[in-house]
């Protein structure tokens, strides 16, 4: 029992507090609503047809409820994993993300986060001590069915720069690429992709050529960054408190940048049916509110399915800084797998 006069600090752990195989499972579950979908779309401008068109979604998926945007699902899962990473200074990578089954409006997401790797960084005189924490993030729906299973690597500060934790893990066990067999298995077998082709004009899977590069001229200014942070239950201080950022400015949540890249991808590929997986995603530099982001998209490979097919897509995002300090600076390297009819 707490004493009436006791004062308790509420916050996330420092690097010294992490332990191998530690599990965090206390994040609130979140039921996705039309409100979540509307606000996510307003912040990112995405044009993914199945997440926008209820009639098309019903015709293709066979479900009366509408498909939730895959990036909304990923943003929520990442946000639910931020309880132990509230002090994060930056995320180095995401690996091996596969949407194991589609998520629909009304589904409830629950996420468990486990520590699977720890490595203290070499000390630098000009910076506080830090360490890398590899997390395995697993998300299920209300029926306990797996939705996501992937790895994330945040950089966490030490409580004391002089600490010696002894953590020297190799991260070689983290997959560098996806097993396309696993990706193919995640494609919903009951979807009627022929109905997508019948109802929607324009280019579909058979019409696309490998090595095509799209330079998306329409760019986006990052706005309302903290609103997306709050929508997705993200607790990272650096996204809502400029004083908690090493740069003295609020960092934009990485999922925001990724979702804008997905929005740009739907301009290049207006008939993209869904996003099934991420080969990997590396943050090349920070993004700040007001930065103007543009995307170059490359179709690296095509994989035929019994109906339609999968696309290996590579998005590189560039920033023109709001403060004028840089132009066309690379900030994101995202390799993902799209589904086309």
46 has a pLDDT exceeding 80 = yes
**108 strand-pairing partners:** 31
**In angstroms, what CA-CA distances link 24 with 82, 146, 193, 267, 314?**
10, 17, 38, 38, 32
What pLDDT score was predicted for residue 149?
A: 95
208 DSSP assignment: -
Sole residue written with tokens 């004493």: 3
Domain total in the chain: 1
Residue 247 clears pLDDT 90, i.e. is over it = no
The answer to the question of residue 6 being in a domain is no
Mean pLDDT, the chain, integer: 95
Which region, left, alpha or beta, applies to residue 62 given φ > 0 means left and ψ of -120 to 50 means alpha?
left
Say which CATH number the domain at 327 has. Answer: 3.10.129.10
Closest by CA position to 15, among listed 135, 125, 120, 137: 120
Q: What is the average per-residue pLDDT within 39-61? A: 97
Element (H, E) at 84: none
Residue 122 lies in a domain: yes
Contacts of 199 (CB under 8 A, 6+ apart): 56, 59
- Banded model confidence at residue 9, pLDDT cuts 50, 70, 90: confident
Residues 6+ apart with CB under 8 A from 319: 285, 287, 291, 292, 293, 326, 328, 329, 330, 331
> Would 4 be classed as within a structural domain?
no
**Per-residue pLDDT tens over the stretch 12-32:** 999 999 999 999 999 999 999
Does residue 2 lie in a domain region? Answer: no
Q: What is the DSSP letter of 163?
A: -
Residue 267, both tokens: 């301009």
113 found inside a domain: yes
pLDDT-derived band at 197, boundaries 50, 70, 90 = very high
Q: Is pLDDT of 125 > 90?
A: no
In a domain? residue 5: no
- What CA–CA distance (Å, rounded) separates 43 from 217? 19
Would you say residue 302 has pLDDT above 80?
A: yes
In a domain, 27, yes or no: yes
Q: What is the pLDDT, as a whole number, of residue 321?
A: 96
- pTM for this entry: 0.94
Do the beta carbons of residue 25 and residue 113 sit within 8 Å?
yes
- Alpha carbon distance 332, 328 (integer Å): 12
Strand partners, 151: 95, 136
Is the pLDDT at 105 greater than 90, yes or no?
Answer: yes
What's residue 1's pLDDT? Answer: 61
Is 10 a member of any domain?
A: no
Q: Kindly state the DSSP code that residue 13 receives in the 8-state scheme.
A: P
Kindly tell me if the per-residue pLDDT of 3 is higher than 80: no
Q: What is the average pLDDT across 111-128?
A: 91
3-class secondary structure, 294: strand
Question: According to the model, what pLDDT value does residue 2 have?
Answer: 60
pLDDT higher than threshold 90 for residue 91:
no
Residue found by looking up tokens 């039309």 in the block:
34
The b-or-e profile of 35-59 (16+ CB within 10 A means b, else e) is ebbebbbebbebbbbbbbbeebbbb
Q: SS3 for 340?
A: strand
Helices (H), the chain: 34-44, 49-52, 54-61, 70-80, 180-186, 193-199, 225-231, 254-268
Collapsed DSSP state (helix, strand, coil) of residue 221: strand
298: containing domain: 15-340
Residue 220 in tokens: 């986006």
Per the CB < 8 A criterion, the answer to whether 243 and 272 are in contact is: no
Q: Which band of pLDDT confidence, cut at 50, 70 and 90, is reported for residue 49?
A: very high
Tokens representing residue 339 in the block = 């589904």
């Amino acid at each position: 029992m707490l004493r009436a006069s006791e004062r308790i600090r509420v916050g996330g752990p420092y690097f010294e507090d992490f332990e191998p195989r530690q599990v965090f499972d206390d994040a609130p579950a979140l039921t996705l609503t039309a409100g979540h979908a509307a606000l996510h779309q307003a912040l990112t401008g995405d044009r993914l047809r199945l997440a926008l068109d209820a009639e098309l979604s019903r015709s293709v998926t066979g479900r009366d409820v509408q498909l939730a945007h895959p990036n909304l699902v990923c943003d929520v899962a990442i946000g639910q994993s931020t309880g132990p990473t509230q002090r994060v200074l930056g995320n180095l990578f995401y690996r091996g993300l596969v949407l194991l089954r589609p998520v629909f409006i009304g589904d409830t997401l629950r996420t468990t986060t486990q520590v699977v790797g720890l490595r203290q960084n070499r000390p630098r005189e000009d910076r506080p001590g830090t360490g890398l924490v590899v997390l395995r993030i697993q998300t299920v729906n209300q029926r306990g069915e797996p939705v996501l299973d992937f790895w994330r690597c945040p950089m966490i500060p030490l409580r004391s720069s002089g600490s010696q934790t002894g953590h020297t893990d190799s991260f070689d066990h983290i997959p560098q690429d996806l097993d396309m067999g696993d990706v193919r298995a995640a494609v919903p077998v009951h979807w009627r992709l022929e109905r997508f082709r019948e109802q929607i004009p324009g280019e579909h899977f058979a019409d696309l050529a490998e090595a095509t590069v799209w330079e998306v001229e329409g760019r986006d200014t990052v706005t309302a960054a903290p609103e997306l942070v709050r929508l997705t239950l993200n607790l990272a201080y650096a996204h809502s408190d400029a004083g908690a950022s090493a740069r003295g400015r609020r960092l934009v949540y990485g999922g925001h940048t990724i979702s804008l890249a997905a929005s740009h991808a739907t301009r290049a590929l207006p008939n993209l049916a869904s996003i099934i997986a991420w080969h990997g995603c590396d943050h090349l530099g920070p993004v700040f509110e007001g930065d103007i982001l543009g995307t170059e998209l490359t179709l690296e490979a095509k994989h035929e399915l019994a109906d339609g097919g999968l696309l290996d897509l590579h998005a590189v995002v560039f920033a023109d800084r709001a403060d004028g300090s840089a132009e066309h600076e690379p900030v994101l390297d995202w390799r993902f797998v799209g589904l086309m009819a």
